[in-house]
Structure 1
Amino acid sequence: MKKVYLDNAATTQVRENVIVKMQDALANFYGNPSSTHSFGRSAKTAVESARKTIAKHMNAHPSEIVFTSGGTEADNMILRCAVRDLDVKTIITSKIEHHAVLHTVEDLANEKGAQVLYVDLDAFGNPKLAHLEALLTRDDSKKLVSLMHVNNEIGNKIDIAAICELCHSNGALFHSDTVQSIGHYAWDVKDVPADFLTAAAHKFHGPKGIGFAYVKKNSGLKPFISGGSQERGNRAGTESFHNIVGLETAFLEAYDNLESETAYVRGLKSYFIDKMKQEIPNAKFNGHSGDMDKSTFTLVNVCLPIDPQKALMLLFHLDMKGIACSKGSACQSGSDLGSHVLAEILSKEDLEKPSVRFSFSKYNTKEELDYTIQALKEFVEK
């Protein structure tokens, strides 16, 4: 059976060189980075090298990079510690954020009494800046705004620079879940001086279980996990050394090849959109995912003209064809609930139709896209 992997927004294939580097780390650099002997010092040197590599590419200071187990931990750390340590009383976010943010702010409201406000969205799922400004100025409470740069389901890109400026001009902190954009877009934290950012290696062809938080210097955040003094005192626990090596390698290769790989994947997305319009003209692209300029080049989210009963078999049909895709965030797998993102922007009629997310990488080909669209067309017309 042909195998086509189009679920790269959920996770990506690990680069071959990343695997080689991680295997070498596991075999030859097994010392604890906190140990003072030569084995530990070798591991520690590599951890700090990775920190400096990431910081250099983001125009940050190495002390501003904190390694975590991934984006979810990084989001939790920032949001929870902002309330605990920075006297944040109000969190402003949107209803289409990743659940790593949404569930955390709900918990903070219940556990710590934080006020949670949701910015209005336009018909495509973009935050309305006028409403954001109104929320920022409604009272004198210390505020933190959390809005993701690239939406993981519909691919919308927010104007992160404008939002960052709006937050700071009104005395608010700004956090962005950048899990879907770091590794795909160039970052300079001097150009977009967000207070906090998050990343996960497995979204840019690195290993799972490792990511990092960018925490602006002198932010005032205290450790989220208590224990040892690892991560320069910012996160207790023995560093996952082999994963950090894999993260660094994937990060370097992503940015060394950023221009060429972006052009290639953009070409795939553009081809997919054009082909879908030809073969299934009644299909709709959700949010801005069908717009090459207003959405990320890595994914599309398509609403298909299929009745609800037939739609129940769509993903099964695609899986039987060897095609991997998603009806929403992979974090919602096994849930009977529909997409909370699409529920905010689609009409009741379109919500009853199946919507599928296809996400692309450097490992995909136009031939795979032809095969996928043909399988979709067969099912729609059957």
Structure 2
Amino acid sequence: MIYLDYQATTPLAPEARDTMLRWLDGPGGTGFGNPHSPHKLGRQAKAAVEFAREQVAALFPAGGKVIFTSGATEAINLAIRGSGKGGTVSVSAIEHAAVLDTARDAGECHVLNVAKDGQCNTKQDLPADTRLVCLMQVNNEIGTIQPTLEWHRKAKENNALYFCDAVQAYGKIEVTGADMIAISAHKFHGPKGVGALWIRDGLDLHEVQTGGGQEHGLRSGTLSPALIAGMGTAAALANEALDQDAEHIEQLWKRAREIFEDWELNGSAEARWHGNLNIRPRGPNGGGLDVNRLMSECRDVMFSAGSACASGSGRTSHVLEAIGLPKKLAKTSIRLGFGRYTTIEEIEEAGKVINEAAKAQGSL
């Protein structure tokens, strides 16, 4: 099996798994305590949580606080719903569904358009009553890196807050300034089921999920020391390996571009995270490629027809439509994602299998 779907989830780092096991000890062990209990086991569990909080915070801008959540979707909801009511929430057309759907449900939603390369143009006007601007740092489908610093400034000029979905950026590139930033552990080799919202100093949110008042009174519920400790270890590893991972991924990108030279790239080649290769066969109709058939015939290569969250929905990718790709071309597109544990040999073998299957369809 060759795994090339790193945007959907990343393999758990062995070091993160080892850390987690300590905090899963059952009877006779010392790692199963409730981090909100005042006794010895509780204090030990709390210490593990706070140590992980420091590890996660190290990859955020200086200052601010880290609120642990069940994942990025909960963090996004806390940011959008917890930052106020009324007014307009301005979001880019290529945001993840967790942002788009939450913004629409929270009130008036204004959609910002993007260029053909997938970047959100900062010359667009914001509605006068905009209270929050939402723009992700790296797009999950086409890998485009957004001008987040410029949009942060533009939000400030309009007396609005700026929220950044950094799920695909954290642990890979420097996370830039914002008022609130959401991340998810399983996108940087941590466990599933845990994420965080970073909140800048001086910003007060109101709680969305009521209960026991844990996590600075913003997110109620018993924390999982095992998941959080695993997330902390994954964050520390990403911090240590930042340059090494980037160099490795650049080598994979260059080889993949050579192997898939007969495919057209979706989105920018330059303003892009190079661990994301979203492509379609060249030609006016994408060679008529049947992606479902391609995936079936390449069953030992794990890749995506688009965002994993929308797979099987039958809907055309809203991201590919937003960059002006006709539906017939969007439906011939595939996404290959690779990272720390991917080898050149795997890229070459996957390329051989995918290209042969596409040629058999007459698409190349």
Q: How does 1:161-240 map to 2 (within 5 A)?
A: 161-187=149-175, 192-240=176-224
TM-superposition CA deviations, 1:70-122 (whole Å, max 9, x none): 111101111111233xxx511111221100001111212xxxxx221111211
Partner of 2:111: 118
Partner of 2:314: 336
Structure 1 residue 309, shift from structure 2 partner: 6.8
- Structure-2 change in CA distance of 1:121 and 1:59 (3 Å): closer
Amino acid at match of 2:111: Y
SS at match of 1:302: strand
2:244 to 260, 267, 271: 260
Partner of 2:345: 367
2:123 to 130, 136, 142: 130
Alpha-carbon distance in 2 for matches of 1:78, 1:310: 39
Partner of 1:74: 75
Partner of 1:326: 304
Partner of 2:87: 89
SS at match of 2:226: helix
Structure 1 residue 57, shift from structure 2 partner: 3.6
Alpha-carbon distance in 1 for matches of 2:275, 2:211: 39
SS at match of 1:379: helix
TM-superposition CA deviations, 1:48-68 (whole Å, max 9, x none): 11112222342434x610000
- Structure-2 change in CA distance of 1:19 and 1:129 (3 Å): same
Partner of 1:107: 105
Partner of 2:7: 9
Partner of 1:286: 266
1:301 to 272, 278, 287: 278
Partner of 1:55: 57
Alpha-carbon distance in 1 for matches of 2:301, 2:327: 27
- Structure-2 change in CA distance of 1:142 and 1:220 (3 Å): farther
Amino acid at match of 1:40: G
Structure 1 residue 349, shift from structure 2 partner: 6.8
Structure 1 residue 209, shift from structure 2 partner: 0.4
Tell me, yes or no, if the aligned pair for 1:304 and 1:353 is still in contact at 8 Å.
Answer: no
- Structure-2 change in CA distance of 1:349 and 1:210 (3 Å): closer
Partner of 1:148: 136
Amino acid at match of 1:117: H
Alpha-carbon distance in 2 for matches of 1:67, 1:60: 17
Tell me, yes or no, if the aligned pair for 1:307 and 1:353 is still in contact at 8 Å.
Answer: no
- Structure-2 change in CA distance of 1:349 and 1:55 (3 Å): closer
- Structure-2 change in CA distance of 1:230 and 1:352 (3 Å): closer
Q: How does 1:21-60 map to 2 (within 5 A)?
A: 21-27=19-25, 28-60=30-62
Normalising by the residue count of structure 1, what TM-score does the alignment of the two structures yield? 0.88
Tell me, yes or no, if the aligned pair for 1:196 and 1:214 is still in contact at 8 Å.
Answer: yes
- Structure-2 change in CA distance of 1:57 and 1:153 (3 Å): closer
**Larger fraction in helix:** 1
Alpha-carbon distance in 2 for matches of 1:309, 1:150: 27
Structure 1 residue 128, shift from structure 2 partner: 1.4
TM-superposition CA deviations, 1:333-380 (whole Å, max 9, x none): 221112111122244275265100000011111111111111122122
Structure 1 residue 329, shift from structure 2 partner: 1.2
TM-superposition CA deviations, 1:269-312 (whole Å, max 9, x none): 121012211xxx2x200011xx1x31002111011255447444
Aligned-residue CA RMSD (Å): 1.7
Alpha-carbon distance in 2 for matches of 1:208, 1:311: 28
2:346 corresponds to 1:345: no
SS at match of 2:67: strand
Q: How many residues align?
A: 353
Normalising by the residue count of structure 2, what TM-score does the alignment of the two structures yield? 0.93
Alpha-carbon distance in 2 for matches of 1:123, 1:266: 23
Amino acid at match of 2:257: I
